[in-house]
Amino acid sequence: MKNDKNLGNLAKNLRKKATDTEKVLWYHLSNRNLEGAKFRRSQQIGNYIVDFMCFEKKLIIELDGGQHNEISEKLKDEKRTLALKKKHYKVLRYWDNDVLQNIDGVLENIRQVLAQENHPHPPCTECRAPSPVKGEE
């Protein structure tokens, strides 16, 4: 397990080396561009670094490339999501392709979640948000 300082340095490096997909979504989330919600990127939460975080809504957004379709990665993602849910965070996961090919659908899905009432113990979404691409399973 890495200590907090190492994770903080890793988060800083991840912000500097954002993927193309992260850059696309960050463009829409930064500067309160989406429903006035303040998002942070590459944010440390406990022993994890999440892609995007809105503290006010306790909402985490994770972007997944094809490697997350491998069984070992799926298990890590499930463990991570469960740990974050125990801290009462909502976790939305989107495939990189969804962000790159249907950013409007992804943003609409995020808007809907942001519009929900913020209860003390909000209902958590499943590990992966439904694909906003029509006809895609």
Higher-confidence residue of 67 and 127: namely 67
Q: Cα–Cα distance between 62 and 46 in angstroms, integer?
A: 16
Higher-confidence residue of 52 and 123: namely 52
Query: Which position has the token pair 């829409």?
Result: 28
Give the SS3 label for residue 131.
Answer: coil
pLDDT tens-digit series, residues 64-118? 886 656 777 888 889 999 999 999 999 999 999 999 999 999 999 999 999 986 5
Is it the case that residue 123 has pLDDT exceeding 50? no
> φ, ψ for residue 38 (rounded to 5)?
-90, 115
CB-neighbour burial class of residue 123 (10 A; exposed 0-12, middle 13-18, buried 19+): exposed
pLDDT of res. 68: 58
Higher-confidence residue of 72 and 40: namely 40
Counting residues of the chain whose pLDDT is more than 70, the rounded percentage is 69
Read off the pLDDT band of 21 (50, 70, 90): very high
Residue 73 contacts residue 29 (beta carbons within 8 Å) = no
- Containing 100, the helix (H) or strand (E) segment is helix 96-101
pLDDT, the chain, mean: 81
User: What domains appear along the chain, each with residue ranges and CATH number?
Assistant: 4-115 (3.40.960.10)
